[in-house]
């Protein structure tokens, strides 16, 4: 499968790109508003993977529109405040594509991080509102600690909750998620449930900040 990570030069994009390239045979495409930035990052990721014995892995780095045009699945791995602009910019390239949003809106004050719920109900719903009507949108990867995800020497033992209204698209994303060693995908129901999942992220950050030895927290349901 061809996976484009728009904003794949950032934290969550880097982690997903490296893990999928390390653990699966999917084709990884890095997207950025600036094609050269994407190309430079793709080369950086290739170098890291080659150091781990993956000499045959080729990662493309393209502008966001070109990256989306080549993909079966597009992950909008951008901050919440760039999400709708990013989707608007690639909307014409999203035919026959599943769009995935891992973005979470947060605010920070002196007490810590807090979920910033948008008027649409969730950031995932913002993505759905911006996407073309025939493009299924799935929420996933919201609660993954990006630093640990990008550290290929670190073992993972996390769940990711997947929400969406299109069953086939949701199944595809669950399969992609479980291709990463140490991640289990759980069905969180329809897209309307996204806010509850997104709201876990600031909680995890706050707990990690205030408790020694709990850096890079994730969730595991038992």
Kindly report, residue by residue over 21-31, the tens digit of the pLDDT. Answer: 999 999 999 99
Q: Give 172-198 pLDDT, tens digit per residue.
A: 999 999 999 999 999 999 999 999 999
Q: Which DSSP state fits 98?
A: E
Neighbours of 119 (CB within 10 A): 6
Q: How far is CA 28 from CA 69, 73, 165, in A?
A: 13, 10, 25
The token pair at 115 is 């979920």
Q: Are strands 106-109 and 73-76 parallel, antiparallel or unpaired?
A: unpaired
What average pLDDT does the structure give for the chain? 97
Q: Judge whether 115 and 202 are in contact, CB under 8 Å.
A: yes
User: Facing residues of 158 across strands?
Assistant: 183
Tell me what pLDDT residue 215 has. 87
Q: Using CA atoms, how far apart are residues 28 and 67, in angstroms rounded to an integer?
A: 10
Half-sphere exposure of 153 (CA within 13 A, CB side): 2
Q: Give 54-63 pLDDT, tens digit per residue.
A: 988 999 999 9
Tell me what pLDDT residue 161 has. 98
Q: Which DSSP state fits 135?
A: S
- For residues 104-132, average pLDDT: 97
């Amino acid at each position: 499968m061809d996976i484009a990570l728009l904003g794949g030069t950032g934290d969550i994009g880097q982690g997903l790109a490296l893990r999928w390239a390390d653990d699966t045979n999917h084709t990884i495409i890095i997207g950025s508003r600036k094609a050269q930035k994407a190309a430079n990052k793709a080369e950086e990721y290739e170098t890291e993977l080659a150091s781990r014995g993956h000499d045959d892995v080729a990662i493309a780095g393209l502008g966001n529109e070109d990256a989306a045009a080549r993909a079966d699945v597009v992950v909008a791995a951008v901050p919440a405040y760039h999400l709708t602009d990013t989707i608007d910019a690639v909307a014409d390239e999203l035919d026959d594509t599943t769009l995935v949003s891992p973005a979470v809106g947060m605010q920070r004050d002196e007490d810590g991080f807090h979920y910033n719920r948008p008027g649409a109900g969730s950031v995932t719903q913002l993505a759905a509102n911006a996407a073309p009507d025939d493009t299924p949108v799935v929420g996933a990867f919201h609660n993954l600690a990006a630093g640990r995800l990008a550290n290929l020497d670190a073992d993972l033992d996390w769940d990711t909750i997947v929400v969406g209204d299109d069953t086939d698209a949701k199944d595809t994303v669950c399969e992609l998620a479980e291709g990463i060693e140490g991640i289990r995908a759980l069905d969180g129901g329809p897209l309307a449930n996204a806010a509850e999942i997104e709201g876990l992220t600031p909680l995890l950050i706050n707990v990690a900040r205030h408790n020694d030895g709990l850096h890079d927290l994730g969730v595991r349901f038992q």
